[in-house]
Structure 1
Amino acid sequence: MKRILSALSIFAMICLLAPISARADFTASDWESIKAVQVPAPADSGYAFFAVDAEIYDGSADGLKSLRIIDAASHEVPYQIRTQAESESREEFSPKFLNNSYVQDKFNSFGLDLGDQPPSVNRIDILTTSENFTRRASVEGSSDQTEWHMLTDEAYIFNFTRHTRSEYLHLEFPLSNFRYLRVKIFDDGTGPLKISGAKTFKVQKIEAETETWPLTIIEKTENEDKKTTEISLDAQYRALPIREMELNVASHNYHRTVAVHSTDDREEWISLGSGIIFNYDLPQFKKTNNRVAFRENSNDRYFKLVIHNYDDEPLDVRGATGIGLVRGVIFPLNDKLPYTVFFGNQSAQAPQYDLAHRIPYIESDRLPRCTLGPRVPNPSYVEKKPVRPWSEEHAWLLWAIMAAVILFLAYLIFNLTQKTRPENHTG
């Protein structure tokens, strides 16, 4: 009996776990859309690249896993996607903090001594416990504390703690190696700042390579109970790699928190993050930031901004622009032109090529840039029938297994009842 039970168990597991996944080779009929790749002539570098455009993002909506490049001989061409994100390196120095003072109704002032062999620096961070201020500042440099050279006289610092804390305490100026630096923070009529020290840095920045997409306002509502403005935006395409927004605001002198959400159906919204926008248009201080950064969502088309107005009037928002990193597709060139880009296959897996190990040694900045033709339907595409669950596809087998198990259990019960039936004794 144990052997029979074991055999039935193994048979049932094999039937239930039968579906397995296997990666198939490229088959053109599985891809929905194509684009022609136009390679500039001459292209003698051995490699080229193109930037992924909005139509490819919209037609993929799978994180670009389905992207394939095919040459004229129907061979798959390897590629690697690269992005240039912003990066920053900082080297910190601790100078001597000198002559911290205040000239009545004019400015705070202090000096910094970077030593006999002063390093090159281009930023000073102010250490202060003061709150709710906006001040203009200047930075001067000198080698002997006698002759001073102006490095910047249009730096601004601020701190705000109303509703949400926001501050900017960096003084940026051209790279210099003066031994002495002198900072003045000009009074705005509210008295001196409480300054306890300063740090100096050498900051090197590499700017991100970005592209922009216009976002159309399709709905704007005011929620008086929550004191918020809700703005719905349409990116026109799905799956754009938007990770920042620049708002077009006609209002002046504001400081607001903005939450960002996204969706593909305008029903269920996903929170992407929040940030602060502000504008200070004052005689002694002018600074604007209308950018909000958030996490990138790779599938959605619509965005919603929730602007917290608190007790102020709603802002006059005229529009918005989406900002994201450029996706550059680098690939080798051969003599089998033209190339065609295939995309739009939800079952495709992301390819892995040896090219990924050679990319660090390729000077991608000097590669010829290809252009892409318009998105057109793949003429060989064959729409697949919806895949039914395995249990539905093989329902007859499940019923057969159940029937066999029931019959076997009935057989066991019958045998058990026969063995336990009392014997009749005659006397």
Structure 2
Amino acid sequence: MTVDIGGSGITHNQLILTAPAIGEFWRDVDIEASTDNRTWSLIAKSQIYRVVKAGSPIQSLTLNYPLSTARFLRIKIADDGSGDLRMGGATGHFDSSVAPTLVESQILPVAQVEDTVIKTSTTDFDRGRSGTVFHQVTLETSSINFNRNVTLQLSNDRERWKSAGRSEIYSYTLGNNPLKGLTISLPESTERYVRVVVFNQGNPSIKVTGAVFSGFAKRLVFLAVVKGVLPLLRQTGKQFADLRHRTGPGQYQHTRSVESGRGAAYGQS
């Protein structure tokens, strides 16, 4: 799938794909850039997925990549043997001030509960406020030699919770080498409270002592909402200046959506 941004010199660093409305999938993705639609360079690797749990879809269709001004983007979606996965469009995010910066914060638990009946360890975290974006949670524990299933739940008031997905965590020692998988990825979220439920299933309890929350801090990001399949955006200088309304040194007002039927799209997969 090839996308024509509409002109060179427009700064961009993120695409959010529009996937078919039905079906589950998990695919690896290569993101390539070109200034002439002939010579391509790989700029990032990522994954996209959609799974349905308890009747609710859990998906991640966001592709982050280093700041680029290339006119053309090519998205290569790996074939896992289940057939073509054709995207229905994309939303482009452009940042003309800074590239996304990964921000990490270490947080201690605010509550922990052991359920000896259903064999779970539940840990609640308070990130301090809602609105800050995160997409990864890396758990901290002194336990070793374990493999557990976990679920994440999110809330803004610590009363109403929604599922944010399932994952697996593990920690082993091979000789003198630690082998750990304690990072849980989820779609970008902004909720204040995070609940981690570890399923022990008759094994010794895993005590979570803390967590590191990771997310991309963004400034001056605006949205291009696609009509049709793939054309993203072609902005004039005046329109771009309107979007970058300055409110102070290095500060700009909230983002705004624009629609464009111009540009070009190519049906490559």
Look up the SS of the partner of 1:147 in the other structure.
Answer: coil
Equivalenced residue count is 187
Structure 1 counterpart of 2:64: 172
Structure-to-structure mapping, 1:142-153, within 5 angstroms: 142-152=34-44
Percent of residue pairs identical: 18
**1-structure distance, mates of 2:185, 2:7:** 42
Check whether the contact 1:136–1:185 (CA below 8 A) recurs between aligned residues: yes
Structure 2 counterpart of 1:256: 151
Answering whether residue 11 of structure 2 is matched by residue 114 of structure 1, we say no
Give the counterpart of 1:127 among 15, 18, 21. Answer: 18
Structure with the bigger percentage of strand: 2
Quickly say closer, same or farther: Cα 1:185–1:288, change in 2 above 3 A. Answer: farther
Cα displacement (A) at 1:288? 4.6
Cα displacement (A) at 1:138? 0.4
**2-structure distance, mates of 1:255, 1:209:** 21
**2-structure distance, mates of 1:206, 1:221:** 39
Unaligned regions of 5+ residues in structure 1, if any? Answer: 1-109, 263-269, 297-302, 325-359, 362-427
Structure with the bigger percentage of helix: 1
Cα displacement (A) at 1:148? 1.1
Structure 2 counterpart of 1:343: none
Unaligned regions of 5+ residues in structure 2, if any? Answer: 170-180, 214-247, 250-269
Cα displacement (A) at 1:197? 1.8
Check whether the contact 1:255–1:276 (CA below 8 A) recurs between aligned residues: no
Task: Give the letter aligned to residue 169 of structure 1.
Answer: L
Quickly say closer, same or farther: Cα 1:199–1:184, change in 2 above 3 A. Answer: same
The one of the two structures with greater contact order (alpha-carbon pairs below 8 A, sep at least 6) is: 1
Look up the SS of the partner of 1:271 in the other structure.
Answer: coil
Question: Normalized against structure 1, the TM-score is what?
Answer: 0.35
Structure 2 counterpart of 1:199: 91
Look up the SS of the partner of 2:53 in the other structure.
Answer: coil
Give the counterpart of 2:76 among 164, 176, 184. Answer: 184
**2-structure distance, mates of 1:232, 1:165:** 24
**2-structure distance, mates of 1:307, 1:209:** 22
**1:198-233 Cα deviation digits (max 9, x unpaired):** 23221454666845336785x521444xxx735367
The alignment yields a C-alpha RMSD, in angstroms, of 4.6
Question: Normalized against structure 2, the TM-score is what?
Answer: 0.52
Structure-to-structure mapping, 1:26-425, within 5 angstroms: 110-129=1-20, 130-152=22-44, 154-163=45-54, 164-203=56-95, 205=100, 210-213=105-108, 219-224=113-118, 229-231=120-122, 241=128, 247-248=139-140, 250-251=146-147, 254=149, 256-258=151-153, 271=159, 273-279=161-167, 288-289=183-184, 294-295=191-192, 307=197, 317-321=206-210
Task: Give the letter aligned to residue 178 of structure 1.
Answer: A
Task: Give the letter aligned to residue 278 of structure 1.
Answer: R
**2-structure distance, mates of 1:320, 1:193:** 41
Task: Give the letter aligned to residue 147 of structure 2.
Answer: S
**2-structure distance, mates of 1:145, 1:126:** 20
**1:345-399 Cα deviation digits (max 9, x unpaired):** xxxxxxxxxxxxxxx99xxxxxxxxxxxxxxxxxxxxxxxxxxxxxxxxxxxxxx
**2-structure distance, mates of 1:287, 1:113:** 38
